[in-house]
Amino acid sequence: MSTNSDKHLSTTALAKSVGKEPRELFVLLSEKGWIEKQDDKWRLTSKGEFEGGHYARSEKYGEYIVWPPSLSDHQVFALLPEAPLSATQLGRKLGVSARMCNLLLAELGWIRPYLRGWQLMEAGQNLGGQQQENERSGVPYVTWPETLLVSTALQRRAEQLQGEGQARGVDDHWLALDGHHLRSKEELLIDNWLYLNGVVHSTSHPLPFDSEAEADFYLPDGQVYLEYWGFDKTPAYLKRKLARQALYQQHELSLIELSAGDLNQLDDVLPKALLKFGVLL
């Protein structure tokens, strides 16, 4: 028995190397007689040992099965189905994160948040969604067939989420998922994030210290203003930005500031920023 996993892959790592979910691979290897369940633990069969599987041990996980990396080219993996797709896989095909993919599916009414996971709705079941449960944590999640990718509704909403398709600017305005008209694609991306995460907000909100000036966003739950400082680096723009920041500080208003570098990591930046003002997602 091996005591380490140097240069070998766990079954979970092997699944990732072939672009599949670990659960799919465990099921396949079990069906092909490479592994079997004994006392709630996966054990190698003689066939699994013949294919290069053996045991490794770690302080954290105890004894577990590992495989040679070369096994990822084995013809047996051609039997792995394309479906079902997890939210991670579906989101990757749509160009969005797993979290935003689930939120988008919920916005379409196909799933709904359930404690720490996601629960399949009847509309989603009619589209081929399947309710699943994490074997270790029991957290529910949903998987989807490849055919979901041809759904016109999903394609349109995914495009609009990213500022494409129906979201493209008309008369210098961009149409967000919630129907708000924004002044730029960057503001649209922020608006879509707030909407899908259930953060109540208004756009082009009048500032209390200047009836003619407007904030990009206002979040009433935390009485927070949100400004996106764009790509414009002209002296006039920078002067306006500094003056606006000074007014926010002078009137002691809560302010969240975003820049271009934040747009690709809103899932990391905004929850932390909102929490400082008592807004919990």
Residue 6 has pLDDT above 60, yes or no: no
pTM of the model: 0.72
pLDDT of residue 3: 44
pLDDT of residue 105: 98
- 205-234, pLDDT tens digit by residue? 999 887 678 999 999 999 999 999 987 788
pLDDT of residue 168: 86
List where CATH 3.40.960.10 sits in the chain.
Answer: 181-275
- Region of 53 on the Ramachandran plot (φ > 0 left; ψ -120 to 50 alpha; else beta): beta
In three-state secondary structure terms, 39 is: coil
pLDDT of residue 51: 92
Domain 181-275 part of CATH 3.40.50.11540: no
The residue ranges of DSSP E strands in the chain, in sequence order, are 9-10, 35-38, 41-44, 54-58, 62-67, 111-114, 117-120, 130-133, 140-143, 174-175, 181-182, 202-207, 210-219, 224-229, 254-259
DSSP bridge pairs for 182: 174
pLDDT of residue 141: 95
- 91-129, pLDDT tens digit by residue? 988 999 999 999 999 999 999 999 889 999 999 999 999
- 176-207, pLDDT tens digit by residue? 999 999 999 999 999 999 999 999 999 999 99
pLDDT of residue 80: 72
DSSP bridge pairs for 173: 170
